[in-house]
Structure 1
Amino acid sequence: MTSAWVGERVRLRAIEPEDWAELFAFEEDTDAARNGWRLPPPRSAAQAQKWARELAEQESDMDELRLVIADAADGRPVGMLNTHEVERMHGTFCYGISIGTPHHRKGYASEAIVLLLRYMFAERRFQKAEAWVYSSNEPSQALHRRLGFVEEGRRRRSRFAAGRYDDGILFGMTVEEFTELYG
């Protein structure tokens, strides 16, 4: 038996209440937090536990996903992946991904993204995926280019972090482009 949610390195799954500590630890890396979205103020362990418990208890949505990226071998969380700005009428969606710093450059992000795109294109009939990457996040830009995403646009000076303005770079991939690359 095979699962659409499992690759060689990762397993995409729902968050569990006990994931809080691993995911909470990822918040300690300021640069990684900024690359993902924004630098949040410190929160307590109790708040992190509540957050994980509430997410674990939420009803699932077929298209608006918030998934843990777990190591396929040991099941421990290495990051998270979510879809947002889902436009069913147009068949488009955006996604965001965050990998904990100790797990960078091990292939987790690329495999998780391919698993997500396969689900959204082949099971949910979406026709285009989009991802916004900050201009200061060169590793994410390189990842998206390696995966076959096309740079489609740039929103200049759209984010302020670490005392500077960053551009937002829009990357996109159509279902035809995905199918050509990943079958």
Structure 2
Amino acid sequence: MTSAWVGERVRLRATEPEDWEAFLAFDEYSDAVRNGWRLTPPTSAALAKKQATEQAERELDLDEFRLVIATRDGNLPVGAINTHQVDRHHGTFAYGIGVGTPHHRKGYASEAIVILLRYMFFDRRFQKAEAGVYGVNEASLALHRRLGFVEEGRRRRCHYAAGRYDDEVLFGMTIEEFTERYA
């Protein structure tokens, strides 16, 4: 028996309360945090534990959810992936991904994205995935291009971090483009 949520390197799984420590540690890498969203003041261990517990107890939504990216062997949290901006009428959704700095460049993000897209396209009947990547995040821009995403546009100067304004590059992939590459 094979799980649709397990690849060669990673497994996507629900958050467990004990994951708090790994995610709190990822926040220590300020440049990576800025590349993914925005830098915030440090979080306490108590709040990190509470947030992980709340996430673990959140009721399941089949289309809008957050999953932990964990190593296949060892089940160690290395990041998270989530869906958002789900539009069931038009069959589109967006996703976000973050991998902790110590786990960069190991193939975890690309495998997690492919697993997520396979589920959303073939099990939930969506027809298009979208992702926004800040222009300063060269690694993520290269990843999305390598995976076959098409650059569809750019929101100019919409992100502020580290004293500068940056663009957001908008990427999209249709089910046909995914199937051609990954089916």
Aligned to 1:84: 84
Distance 2:130 2:5 in 1: 20
Instruction: Tell me what 1:7 maps to.
Output: 7
**C-alpha separation in 1, matches of 2:35 and 2:83:** 17
Q: 1:25-174 residue pairs with structure 2 within 5 A?
A: 25-174=25-174
Provide the C-alpha distance between the structure 1 equivalents of 2:116 and 2:160, rounded to a whole number of angstroms: 29
Residue segments in structure 2 that go unaligned for 5+ positions in a row: none
Structural RMSD (CA): 0.4
Q: What are the superposed Cα offsets for residues 140-170 of structure 1, whole Å, 9 maximum, x if unpaired?
A: 0000000000000000000111000000100
Q: Could you report, residue by residue, the CA deviation over 1:25-75 in whole angstroms, capped at 9, with x for unpaired residues? A: 000000010111111111100000000000000001000010000000110
**Identical positions, percent:** 73
Measure the CA separation in 1 of the matches of 2:19 and 2:134.
27
Q: Which residue number in structure 2 is paired with residue 17 of structure 1? A: 17
Moved over 6 A (4+): none
Secondary structure class of the residue paired with 2:90 = coil
Q: For 1:60 and 1:38, how far apart are their aligned partners in 2?
A: 26
TM-score relative to the length of structure 1: 0.99
1:101-120 deviation line (CA, Å, top 9, x unaligned)? 00000000000000000000
* TM-score normalised to structure 2 length: 0.99
Q: Deviation at 1:18?
A: 0.4
Unaligned runs of 5+ in 1: none
